[in-house]
Amino acid sequence: MKMKKEDKLYSPKVMTDILKKYKFRFSKSLGQNFLIDGNVLDQICDGISLGKDDEVIEIGPGIGTLTRELAERAKSVVAIELDKKLLPILDDTLSDYDNVKIINEDVLKIDLNKLIEENFENKKVKLAANLPYYITTPIIMSLLESKVNLKSIIVMVQKEVAERMTSAPGKKAYGSLSIAVGYYSKAEIVTIVPKNAFIPKPNVDSAVIKLDIYDKPKVKVKDEELFFKVTKGAFRLRRKTLLNSLSSSDVGISKEDIKNILNKLDIKENIRGEKLTIEEFALLADNIYDLKKN
Ligand code: SAM
Mutation choice for ligand 1 from 9, 24, 28, 32, CB with most ligand atoms inside 8 A: 32
Determine the distance separating the centroid of ligand 1 and the alpha carbon of 130, expressed in angstroms.
Answer: 6
Q: Give the model's pLDDT for residue 2.
A: 82
CB of 141 closer than 6 A to ligand 1? Answer: no
| Closest approach atom of ligand 1 to CA 27 | 16
| Residue-wise DSSP of 228-257 | HHHHHHHTSSTTS-HHHHHHTSTT---HHH
Q: Is the CB of 60 under 6 A from ligand 1?
A: yes
pLDDT score recorded for residue 141: 93
The verdict on the CB of residue 131 being under 6 Å from ligand 1 is: yes
Please write the tens of the pLDDT for every residue from 46-84: 999 999 999 999 999 999 999 999 999 999 999 999 999
Among residues 219, 262, 226, the alpha carbon closest in space to that of 244 is found at 262
Distance 197 CA to ligand 1 centre (A): 16
The alpha helices in the chain, defined as continuous H runs, are: 12-21, 38-47, 65-73, 87-93, 112-120, 133-145, 159-166, 176-184, 224-234, 242-247, 255-264, 278-293
Are 96 and 67 in contact by the 8 Å Cβ rule? The answer is no
What is the residue-wise DSSP string for 107-137?
TTT--HHHHHHHHHTT--EEEEEE--HHHHH
Provide the whole-model pTM: 0.95
- Ligand 1 atom nearest to 107, measured from its CA: 24
What's the distance, Cα to Cα, between the start and end of the chain in Å?
Answer: 73
Query: Which residue puts its alpha carbon closest to atom 23 of ligand 1?
Result: 106
Handedness of CA 6, 7, 8, 9 (dihedral sign): negative
Q: What confidence score (pLDDT) does residue 282 get?
A: 98
What pLDDT shows up at residue 4? 87
Pairwise CA distance, residues 263 & 96, whole Å: 65
In the prediction, which pLDDT does 273 show? 93
35 lines ligand 1 (CB under 6 A): yes
65 C-beta closer than 6 A to ligand 1: yes
* Residue 145 to residue 288: CA distance in whole angstroms: 22
- What is the full per-residue pLDDT of the chain (294 aa) written as tens digits? 788 888 899 999 999 999 999 999 999 999 999 999 999 999 999 999 999 999 999 999 999 999 999 999 999 999 999 999 999 999 999 999 999 999 999 999 999 999 999 999 888 999 999 999 989 999 999 999 988 899 999 999 999 999 999 999 999 999 999 999 999 999 999 999 999 999 999 999 999 999 999 999 999 999 999 999 999 999 988 778 999 999 999 999 999 999 999 999 999 999 999 999 999 999 999 999 999 988
Torsion, Cα 137 202 156 10, to 10 degrees, reads: 150
pLDDT value, residue 70: 98
From 69, 83, 110, give the residue whose CB has the most ligand 1 atoms within 8 Å, as the site to mutate.
Answer: 83
- Ligand 1 center–CA 35 separation, angstroms: 11
Q: What is the pLDDT of residue 128?
A: 98
Amino acid at 218: K
CA of 30 to the centre of ligand 1 (A): 6
Ligand 1: centre distance to CA 18 (Å): 17
Cα–Cα nearest to 40, from 212, 200, 206, 283: 206
Q: Which domains does the chain have, with CATH numbers?
A: 12-213 (3.40.50.150), 224-293 (1.10.8.100)
Nearest CA to ligand 1 atom 19: 30
> Would you say 203 and 20 are in contact if contact means Cβ atoms under 8 Å apart?
no
Evaluate: CB of 31 within 6 angstroms of ligand 1: yes
CA of 60 to the centre of ligand 1 (A): 3
